[in-house]
Amino acid sequence: MNLIKFEDFSFKYDQAQDFVLKDIKLNIESGKFILLCGITGSGKTSLVRAMNGLIPQFYHGEIKGDVFVKGKNTKNVPTSTLSRDVGLVFQNPENQLIAMNVEREIAFGPENIGIPWDEMDSRIKECIKITDIEHLRKKAPFEISGGEQQRVAIASILALQPEIIIFDEPTSLLDPKSAIQILNLLKKILLEKKISTIIVIEHRLDIVLPLADEVILIDKGRIIEHGEAHYVINGEKFLNSGVNIPKCVSVFQKLMNQNIFTGKLPISIEETKNLINSIK
Amino acid sequence: MEAFKFIQMKTIIHSLDPRTKLLLAIIYSILAIIFEEIFILFFVFLSLFPFILAGQLFKKWIKSIRGMTFLFLLLIIFNTLFSTFSKSISMILRIMIMVSSFSLFFLTVHPDDLMLSLLSLKVPYNIAFSFSLSFRFVPTIAIEAQNIIDAQKSRGYEMEQGGLISQAKNLIPLLIPLIVCSMKRAFHIAEALDSRAFGSTKNRTYYYSISYTKKDWLITVILIIFFIFGIIVKIFPDLLPNWFYWRFPV
Amino acid sequence: MEKKLENLQILVNHLTYHYPDGTIALKGINLNIYSGEIVGIMGKNGAGKSTLIKTFNGLLKPTTGTVYIENDEVNNVLMSKLTRKVGIVFQNPDLQLFANTVEDEIKFSLKNLNFSKTELENQIYLTLEKFKLKKFQNRTPFTLSGGEKKRLAIASIMCRNPEIIVFDEPTIGQDAEGVEFIKNLIKEKHAEGKTIIIVTHDIEFAIDNIPRTILMADGLIVADGPTNKILSQDQILNIGSLISPQLIKLSKFLIDLKLKVPEDVYIKENMVQFLGSYFKDKMGITEGGKP
């Protein structure tokens, strides 16, 4: 099923000179872990803003084409309503935690849409359990670590039970282990079907690629490649896009250029190991 | 700022409904404003102590009073110069009463409950919410301000130098980044709020609620009697013995 | 340069630091950094990394213990002298950009360095050229892109020509081009003989560009050694909440296969060469062709 559909969508911010999104045609289906990548300024953040209506409702500008979220045109439905379908988690948890303790933080979304107390309570309990933050329940946002803050932010979006959650660089401020833990948590949430589709903007391709089902590559406001992860990684466009290519990919790419290796480039250490094993 | 920073504790004062504590702060402030007699103010001030002690707030309270020593000194100097020494003492007592009663409030009311109590006073949700939001971001912005000072100092910026005008000019390298960062932050927060269904329905529900208990009613009644007594004394000053109206000869 | 006593540039002895609110951020740091070294500082948030670097340029004064920058004990010299020697590039450029134009921004950094007018103009010109900011000279810094702002923030420290350069998380949120820029800058400054300290979580960047790494945890230095050694020991990785870089993982795997792996195979070029000859060997490929 199409959860989000872009129909030749273009957007230019007020006062900007150029279109930041150009002729976007895109279908986001359910059941996918999707990686959105592209270099700085390629339009990643604008693309996700268009997915929950922040563009054009919060950020005004010139629009061509349409975006539909579960059949609703984002031009006509406010972001606060779309947020029941699309959750957005931002890079810096510091700016999205608005309550003085974790429990209240998670309650905020359900409160806003008028969920009755009993259901709210059970949702809060469930979200706390999935994200494993029981011990933080009464803590204030500034008493907990960055990784913990990001878990709270995830829980607080989950409490709205959206079908799609989008993460805009959720791990860039975290240490490597916390970053992996957060990304694995996302995969777990997806597999347990607490959520139908996850879209992640992430610079650390080395740790996110092994989790991704699909990759969307964006450059200068256009989607230049979209498909199954291996397919995109093996394409010229990806290798020349200027994103941080994981080392195991670039090692095998070099080998390929030297005609020593043919086949699919490995997207994870596990795949690399299998590849070496298969040659033995 | 320390004097107004909420810390979770379990005392009888912390467990009171925020509205009771707000009433206390308001009644004490009114009394502080309408009286200028040193002894009366002093007794009003003394009557705050049971609350401060019951809330285990003595140390924090001392800190907040100590923080104002400079202000008090200025008050004494200017008031004595332009008016009388007695006036300056009553001014100090007034400020002490107001600061103490409000810090009692802020130190024992969870900022999120603050919002609930404003709501119960029929303050619109948006206003009440932005009020509690500003509390939430005080520590964040304080850290950011420190980071800005550090960043500029690392470029050779020197803070303490020159007269008043050059000092004001000297603040520009700190103020502009602070404003820019705060505006960016405000945008991010607004985005985050929209993304969490903020304002999507008028029929908002609440996970927490505040409620008046027997303790609250008891203290409310005492406060009101105290207040009425104060008003009566103000109208009929003869009710109190004369020595209440003693003042310094200067 | 050799690790000789006369080349010792930063000497930290039993350093502790307590914040006014009572937090103990450093609990007894001992550290030697020699002239011309590139040193990484890693560790969880809150381990004390930022606190430590702030004692180098006088932003924080040691609670107990001593920090020597060259021959100066930080408690005995003016901060203006320290910031001239030690330049810290902070992560977020928004924290410092404020001037009307890009040129003024550089000028501000040079203000208290007692340059003559021609020297000043010359230095501004050179800096703008070097950091490819010339075309923005008269533009306000606020309309620059994220990457350009970052370059300007770096330029505003580099123009002061510090002997010791400290980068705080230089690669966060940077794409390949941004990382390449930082990498080249570090190479260049290293060639000029500068001492470089990099606080980072970026293991892939560290393994390629930082020979020596210090790991901090809970206010102490818990490991100090070659980056590839630090990033390959499980126990150390756990303490620092770190993971091994991909090619270290891969080289461990190759060792487990009982292959004769050269020690520096965690470097990309060496890995390509090693796997290249391994594959050729196994599959009987001749030079430049398929089987």
pLDDT in tens, A99-136: 888 999 999 999 999 999 999 999 999 999 999 999 99
Segments of chain B scoring below 70 in pLDDT: 1-5, 160-162, 250
The CB-side HSE value for A110 (13 A sphere, CA atoms) comes to 25
Segments of chain A scoring below 70 in pLDDT: 1, 280
Please give the tally of structural domains in chain B.
Answer: 2
Work out the minimum CA distance from C109 to partner chain B, whole angstroms: 5
Residues B217 and B117 in one domain: yes
Structural domain includes residue B90 = yes
Mean pLDDT for chain C overall: 93
Q: Give me the pLDDT at residue B220, please.
A: 94
Residues B189 and B221 in one domain: no
Contact list in A for residue B208 (CB cut-off 8 A) is: 104, 107
Lowest mean pLDDT among B7-11, C64-68, C273-277: B7-11
User: CA-CA distances (angstroms) from residue C261 to A150, A279, B217, C246, C251?
Assistant: 40, 17, 80, 16, 7
For chain C, the straight-line distance linking the first and the last C-alpha, in angstroms and rounded, comes to: 48
Complex-level ipTM = 0.91
Of B151, B156, B158, Cβ closest to residue C95: B151
Q: Give me the pLDDT at residue B250, please.
A: 66
Residues B15 and B115 in one domain: yes
Q: Find out whether C15 and C190 touch, Cβ atoms under 8 Å.
A: no
pLDDT in tens, A6-47: 999 999 999 889 999 999 999 999 999 999 999 988 999 999
Check CB contact of A138 with chain B, cutoff 8 Å: yes
Residues B203 and B238 in one domain: no
DSSP structural state of residue A169: S
Residues B51 and B10 in one domain: yes
Check CB contact of A4 with chain B, cutoff 8 Å: no
Structural domain includes residue B107 = yes
Q: Find out whether B152 and C96 touch, Cβ atoms under 8 Å.
A: yes
Report residue C55 as tokens: 């004692």
Q: Give me the pLDDT at residue B109, please.
A: 86
Query: Looking at chain C, which subunits does it touch, using at least 3 CB pairs closer than 8 Å as the criterion?
Result: A, B
Structural domain includes residue B38 = yes
pLDDT in tens, C10-45: 999 999 999 988 889 999 999 999 999 999 999 999
Residues B40 and B80 in one domain: yes
Contact list in A for residue C274 (CB cut-off 8 A) is: none
Q: Give me the pLDDT at residue B3, please.
A: 47
E strand segments, chain A: 2-13, 21-29, 33-37, 61-69, 72-73, 86-89, 164-168, 197-201, 214-219, 222-228
Q: What is the dihedral of CA B136, B138, B144, B150, to 10 degrees?
A: -150
Residues B198 and B235 in one domain: no
Summarize chain B as % helix, strand, coil (round to 5). 75, 0, 25
Structural domain includes residue B6 = yes
Check CB contact of B180 with chain C, cutoff 8 Å: yes
Residues B216 and B198 in one domain: no
Check CB contact of C108 with chain B, cutoff 8 Å: yes
Which residues is C64 bridged to in the sheet? C16
A220: Cβ contacts below 8 Å, ≥ 6 apart: A22, A42, A43
pLDDT in tens, B162-187: 677 777 788 899 999 999 999 999 99
**In chain C, which residues touch A (CB < 8 A)?**
44-46, 145-147, 172-179, 201, 203-204, 237, 240-243, 245-247, 249-250, 253-254, 257, 268, 271-272, 275-276, 279-280, 282-283, 285, 288-290
Q: Which structural domain range is residue B102 located in?
A: 1-122+212-250
Cα–Cα distance measured from residue A36 to residue A24, given in angstroms and rounded to the nearest whole number: 14
Residues B203 and B219 in one domain: no
Q: Find out whether C186 and C38 touch, Cβ atoms under 8 Å.
A: yes
Residues B105 and B145 in one domain: no
Question: Is it the case that residue C286 has pLDDT exceeding 60?
Answer: no
Check CB contact of B173 with chain C, cutoff 8 Å: yes
Structural domain includes residue B100 = yes
Q: Give me the pLDDT at residue B170, please.
A: 86
Average pLDDT of the segment spanning C148-165: 96
Q: Give me the pLDDT at residue C3, please.
A: 67
CATH of C5-244 given 3.40.50.150, 3.40.50.300, 3.40.190.10, 3.40.50.720: 3.40.50.300
Query: Looking at chain A, which subunits does it touch, using at least 3 CB pairs closer than 8 Å as the criterion?
Result: B, C
Structural domain includes residue B83 = yes
Cα–Cα distance measured from residue B177 to residue B169, given in angstroms and rounded to the nearest whole number: 14
Structural domain includes residue B131 = no
* Closest chain C CA to residue A240: C176
Structural domain includes residue B240 = yes
Residues B2 and B70 in one domain: yes
- Specify the domain boundaries for CATH 3.40.50.300 within chain C: 5-244
Surface-to-core class of residue C4, CB atoms within 10 Å of its CB (0-12 exposed, 13-18 middle, 19+ buried)? exposed
